[in-house]
Structure 1
Amino acid sequence: MCDGDDEDVDSVEVDFVEVTAVLEEDDGLQFQLPKHHRCACHLLNLVSTVDAAKACSNEAYKKLSRLSPVEIAFLEEYARTMSPLAKALNILQAEIDVQMGWLLPTLTLLISKLDRIRITSRYCKLLVDAIQEGLQQRFGNMLVEPEFIAAAILVPKFKTSWTTDEHIVKLGLDYIKDHLEEETSNQTPVDGSSASEEEDFFASMKSTHGQEGIKQLDGYLACKADNKEILKSFPAVCKLSLKVNTALPASAACERLFSTAGLIFSPRRARMNSKNFENQLLLKLNKKYCHFS
């Protein structure tokens, strides 16, 4: 087998094809290589090409890149299309200054940006449509949920400026007004005594507390300041804001916690006790607060 087969192998002629000239030749009208060749040649250059775009001018970038003008135009448009989505994900997955009230303003602005991108899009219209469809399927019900709308309105940064839909604003304000009345009407007397059945029966005639809550809401909405400190000036509004804005809109923080825990509790540390593991996890996640001399 050895001698005969070696002769057959040696006698096989291999044709080498030089593709450098084909890659450099480009009229911008079509791709010069079939898909499997194009993928093999361009995937290795994709990361370096994107990095080169940041460091080089457009003309220098085109000379250095092996991508055709059509491919470059597609990548640039793809980056512009995905940029708002990436920024929205970073906002919603943050761990600081993000409450449930950030969800709808972020989604609403993202949808608005994608609508504008689609108008001028040449290659990525189907991608924009797919993202829009996914957002509607996942968050469509939340976009009209009164509690989530109220949570957004009760974040001083947004109030009612994040949407131009009057129906959406009305849903949120109605929810706030109803719950402000509940919060104020359920307050116990200052001396701690409970109201009698007779007083409770005629409580609806006394709308003083409800009107006070509405006044605070009107004052909050009219205030031009957008920092959290203004909530202290409106106790009823502040209390309701804390109630509807406690939960985070994403589980990214928990996922990062489990990821960090997995890195610490490696096979070589299998004998680590729970107390030591917990301490190391806390130190790892809070290292910016730790100062060691």
Structure 2
Amino acid sequence: MKEKLKNAMQTVKYIATTTDCWTAHRQSFIGVTAHWIEPDTLERKSVALACKRLKGTHSYDVLASALNDIHSEYNIREKTVRTTTDNASNFIKAFRVYACEDEGSSTEDESKGVNDSEEEDAEEETEGVEVEALMEEEDECSEYQLPKHHRCACHVLNLISTVDARKAESNVMYKKISRAAFAKCSALWNKSARSSTAAEVIERECKLQLIRPVETRWNSLFFAVERILRIIREMTTALKVPMFSPAELSFLSDYASTMNPVSKALNILQGEVDVCMGWLVPTITLLTVKLDRLQTSSKKEYSSGLEK
């Protein structure tokens, strides 16, 4: 099977790979997939190259070594034009150090948010450089050869909608109602997960089950909140748990309305068959338009409420 896969990729001029690492049952693994366009049919092909055990920490050099070995094993190191990963710092550093062409500077600029126009206007400064460090860096580059790096757009968007969204809790009132609403949601999720009787009651009375959010699964919190809103009245009555206050229900409803277009954008971009790079900008542009409309609508509702 491996030889057949090697032969298939030898006829292809350009290949892209994706990779990720994770821990399960106290063991670490790295997975790599390859993607290319079939020259004759223009059909996209995707294959799994490896799912290998990693020993030790997920340091940048360990990841670089593993990825380099996998690319070399399938004789695609020279034809792999780009590798996509998440935004983990170990992956970012691996490509900054071992992608020896121009990827180091571009990746570093992305991570620091360098503005080109501001950089050109800035005063030039002279900085000392250790020759030994440069020589060591050249040795590292020759040790492993990684292609150019691409950060997963879906992972970036997911971080914006989860981690960055928590910055809104700097507002005291928002933080108070957010924590109160999600605390009641968590109580329902835990009760349903830990009690088979509660789960049976929910299914019998609501004809649906609760969805419990999973931190590593994109959109899971949105889907979980959306499901609660659909069956909130029947569920709280059946389980005899405290009802959500009107303010908490309004908060959860606004949360679902805001995250709905983000969820749809993620579903489009993480498609495995039809989606391509050309879909990214239109999808993000449309998402921005929808979020702007929601913001404008919320401001109008708030202003109307103040007038009344």
Q: Same fold (TM over 0.5)?
A: no
TM-score normalised by length of structure 1: 0.27
Relative to total residues, which structure has the larger helix share, 1 or 2?
Answer: 1
TM-score by length of 2: 0.26
Structure with larger Rg:
1
